[in-house]
Amino acid sequence: MYKLTEIEGGVCAANGFYADGVSAGLKADMAKDMAFIYSEKKCEIASIFTTNKMAAAPIRHCKAKGEFQTNFVLINSKNANAMTGNAGVEDINEILATLPANIENPVMSSTGVIGVRIPKDKIIAGAKLFDLTKKDADAAAQAIMTTDTFSKQIAYKIELEDGSSFHIGAMAKGAGMINPAMATMLCFITTDANIAKEEMQAALNKNVQTTFNAASVDGDTSTNDTVLLLSNAKSGAYHAEAFEKALHKIMLFLAREMVRDGEGATKLVTYNVSGAKSDAEAEIVAKALSNSLLVKTALYGQDPNWGRIASTVGASGAYAVEEKLTISFNDICVYKKGELFFDEAMEKKASKVMQLNTFTISCDLGIAEGKFTSFGCDLGYEYVKINADYRT
Amino acid sequence: MYKLTEIEGGVCAANGFYADGVSAGLKADMAKDMAFIYSEKKCEIASIFTTNKMAAAPIRHCKAKGEFQTNFVLINSKNANAMTGNAGVEDINEILATLPANIENPVMSSTGVIGVRIPKDKIIAGAKLFDLTKKDADAAAQAIMTTDTFSKQIAYKIELEDGSSFHIGAMAKGAGMINPAMATMLCFITTDANIAKEEMQAALNKNVQTTFNAASVDGDTSTNDTVLLLSNAKSGAYHAEAFEKALHKIMLFLAREMVRDGEGATKLVTYNVSGAKSDAEAEIVAKALSNSLLVKTALYGQDPNWGRIASTVGASGAYAVEEKLTISFNDICVYKKGELFFDEAMEKKASKVMQLNTFTISCDLGIAEGKFTSFGCDLGYEYVKINADYRT
């Protein structure tokens, strides 16, 4: 047995981890734009990076290291260091070479505009402001924000039966969860669990499928997406099932928070797809729904337009049959296996669900047992405003 | 040798074809909402229908006929007769049974709201207003519009060396070219060429790939998409290459017009993708570009944000390498094989291109010889307005 308790402290909740955010003048108004995560002990690292073929320089730099341990991650917002080629990687090496001697094998993570060389001198000057004894997870979480409207952090304490305990903490940024040119999804998770490197990577890989990879703001996969899990083993404690459970809670929470804070989003919608030919086909349908412009604009208009849901299911490519499909908005069933019963009274009930900030749209394909759950948001005027005006 | 001349007359340009539009009270303000195409002679038919698994009742009805000839197509807007099951098909049979005796084997085509039974009595009453001696292609083209802001027609006369000639005419509707719940792409092409049925279908299949299937307004595939080509062979004339060429011109024109009149669209952009590993990979990239929300909002903002183009190429799934990619806006090259030279002067030049209503974005992947051209539009406030408010 074990006990999970949500606690404060974000990436500093695990023993031996330090973090802070400072201003290097990359953002206007001296807002925080650089952060670090530092560990007293060198950490094992598990990582997941973007599948975008134009992967940014920090990702190329990190991947080139192969297997490695580190005690330091440097993060900046406002500039993605993407499409900057080998020069971008050299910039990172120059920046990291200026860090203090007790920092070993540091890596970098960037988010912001694509196609502009990183302002090396500002970053180097900014890093000199870092105080490695600080445990200000809030400041770090703020510094990595771009168009995010709130910072995203969470931490758990896991108490085991033998009286030992360990912690997992995390911070993330999103806005355009998957959003080239500016936002970029970044997530940093720290733990003092005494976990083997292979188990870290396995747990990360497994949980990313149902959390970050199930979330979409705009369907565009960034050049900079990064999830890093750092473990310094300082607690000496570990419990596989408890770790896995806490990690899933953390990643699911942050993935949902990212969508809730999606650019211009006013609604967080869960798409529960079941009854598909396979889990893979259910995933195709769930992602088609969370990415459909017509579904997203109907959400924004609070219009229980189930015809668009049905049409998107049909267009997704997955096997589906009109006479077997059932669609519900929360517990209000709006279409059932060929029966048309969506009258004015039903519409009123369904409209009430659509007015909520958070609700679930369920599609039972009625074919077999395949299921998948995805997370999406609406698309309104504010999304257009943010993305039409971004660079100017 | 042969001569192609663009002429007036739309679907009535070919000899022996008649058409008109009337109001059956489906649209407000007695706007035209029903149309017919009638041919003196029974026609061979070539067709292409939506790949959406929730194909609408008119498509199920038409497909169930197998091989057939007809002299009549009945078209209505405002109601898609989709997700209406077998009852929707029976409604069609009842409606078509009321048509005059000289009409043989008629088919129906519908566009509008999904999930509502078609107002059978209104449609039957509307069909009684048809005058089969009318040649009013304009009225027919107007009657099939939904959120379209202008009607779409074109026709060609093809004169052969031996003095004989034939005609091809067409009308189409789009708005959300591919837009469940309301718009639906429909296209009707008539010809008096003496063409064999197999050649008709082959020519239609070939040309749809580079025209309608290369166009996207919102990436949502409708339940009702239909392209019908009707030939009554009345001219007695035919020339394979000339027919093919005129058909391509007609389909390309209508596909581009649909995108230009996409819901809320202010720009028609051609994406010329070349240098890909294969034509199939070029198509993946070209369609990813025309469907990317971040590219579409940048177009609306007239922002030459080439980083979003690069990121979308990278995220598309096609093989691509940063150091081999070249991006141009019309003839302004903004990124070339790893070189960053996009300064303020360049931005000014590229911004001028972005202010045009129609321009080309070229992406040379620099890998091999694969190429594909797609057509897309921007996404602005008006798209959100149209689709958030649609059903209310």
What are the pLDDT digits (tens) for A284-314?
999 889 988 889 988 999 989 888 898 889 8
Q: Give ∠ CA B36-B216-A278 in degrees, rounded to 5.
A: 100
**Do B133 and B253 share a domain, yes or no?**
yes
Residue of B nearest to A117 (CA): B340
Q: Where does a domain end: A207, A228, A260?
A: A260
Per-residue tokens: B377: 């539009």
The answer to whether the CB atoms of A312 and B391 lie below 8 A apart is: no
Could you count the other beta carbons within 10 Å of the beta carbon of residue B36?
Answer: 24
**Do A76 and A25 share a domain, yes or no?**
yes
Residue of A nearest to B388 (CA): A301
pLDDT of residue A183: 42
- Residues 292-321 of chain B with CB under 8 A from chain A are 292-294, 297-298, 300-301, 303, 305-308, 310-315, 318-321
Note whether B337 contacts A: Cβ–Cβ < 8 A. no
Count Cα atoms within 13 angstroms, Cβ side, for B62: 27
B190 noted as active-site residue: no
CATH of the domain at B276: 3.10.20.340
Amino acid at A179: N
pLDDT of residue A361: 97
Distance (Å) from the C-alpha of residue B386 to the closest C-alpha of chain A?
9
Rounded Cα gap, residues A354 and B139, in angstroms: 39
Rounded Cα gap, residues A322 and A206, in angstroms: 33
- Residues 93-132 of chain B with CB under 8 A from chain A are 113-117
Under DSSP, the state recorded for A131 is: -
Indicate the pLDDT class of residue A219, thresholds 50, 70 and 90.
Answer: low
Indicate the pLDDT class of residue A22, thresholds 50, 70 and 90.
Answer: very high
Could you report the predicted ipTM of this complex, rounded to two decimals? 0.80
Tell which wins on pLDDT, A209 or A240. Answer: A240
Note whether B58 contacts A: Cβ–Cβ < 8 A. no
**Do B168 and B273 share a domain, yes or no?**
no
**Parallel, antiparallel or unpaired: strands B326-329 and B332-336:** antiparallel
Rounded Cα gap, residues B341 and A116, in angstroms: 9
Q: What is the pTM of this model?
A: 0.81
pLDDT of residue A217: 67
Give the closest of A223, A297, A335 to B388, CB-based: A297
**Do A272 and A251 share a domain, yes or no?**
no
**Do B40 and B182 share a domain, yes or no?**
yes
Q: Is A21 helix (H, G, I), strand (E, B) or coil?
A: strand
Task: Kindly state the helix (H) or strand (E) to which residue A310 belongs, with its residue range.
Answer: helix A306-315
pLDDT at A148 over 70: yes
Candidates A70, A147, A184, A270; catalytic one: A184
**Do B309 and B340 share a domain, yes or no?**
yes
How many folded domains does chain B comprise?
2
The answer to whether the CB atoms of A301 and B389 lie below 8 A apart is: yes
**Do A275 and A251 share a domain, yes or no?**
no
Under DSSP, the state recorded for A87 is: H
Residue pair A217/A379 in contact by the 8 Å Cβ criterion: no
Can you tell me the mean pLDDT for B42-70? 87
Q: Is B378 helix (H, G, I), strand (E, B) or coil?
A: coil
pLDDT of residue A182: 38
Strand partners, B10: none
**Do B381 and B254 share a domain, yes or no?**
no
**Do A286 and A168 share a domain, yes or no?**
no
The answer to whether the CB atoms of B114 and A308 lie below 8 A apart is: yes
pLDDT of residue B181: 33
Residue pair A179/A148 in contact by the 8 Å Cβ criterion: no
Indicate the pLDDT class of residue A103, thresholds 50, 70 and 90.
Answer: very high
pLDDT at B96 over 90: yes
Residue pair B155/B170 in contact by the 8 Å Cβ criterion: yes
List of E strands, chain B = 2-7, 17-22, 34-49, 70-76, 107-110, 152-160, 165-173, 186-191, 226-231, 268-276, 326-329, 332-336, 358-364, 370-377
Strand partners, B37: B19, B73
Residue range B6-42, pLDDT digits in tens: 999 999 999 999 999 999 999 988 999 999 999 999 9
Candidates B184, B190, B191, B326; catalytic one: B184
The answer to whether the CB atoms of A307 and B53 lie below 8 A apart is: no
> Which of B53, B63, B185, B327 should be substituted to probe chain A, the one whose Cβ sees the most A Cβ atoms within 10 Å?
B53
The answer to whether the CB atoms of A223 and B320 lie below 8 A apart is: no
Q: Where does a domain end: A213, A243, A260?
A: A260
pLDDT at B178 over 80: no
Rounded Cα gap, residues B45 and B169, in angstroms: 14
Q: Is B350 helix (H, G, I), strand (E, B) or coil?
A: helix
Rounded Cα gap, residues A192 and A181, in angstroms: 34
Indicate the pLDDT class of residue B392, thresholds 50, 70 and 90.
Answer: very low
List of E strands, A300-341 = 326-329, 332-336
**Do B214 and B303 share a domain, yes or no?**
no
**Do A235 and A313 share a domain, yes or no?**
no
Residue range B274-312, pLDDT digits in tens: 999 999 999 999 988 998 888 998 899 998 988 889 888
Distance (Å) from the C-alpha of residue A221 to the closest C-alpha of chain B?
6
Residue of B nearest to A322 (CA): B54
Residue of B nearest to A60 (CA): B322
Count interface pairs A-B at CB distance under 8 A.
233
The answer to whether the CB atoms of A315 and B180 lie below 8 A apart is: yes
Q: Where does a domain end: B217, B243, B260?
A: B260
Could you count the other beta carbons within 10 Å of the beta carbon of residue B343?
Answer: 8
Task: Kindly state the helix (H) or strand (E) to which residue B174 belongs, with its residue range.
Answer: none
Per-residue tokens: B359: 């321009």
CATH of the domain at B245: 3.60.70.12
The answer to whether the CB atoms of B307 and A180 lie below 8 A apart is: yes
**Do A288 and A189 share a domain, yes or no?**
no
Residue range of the domain that includes A217: 2-260
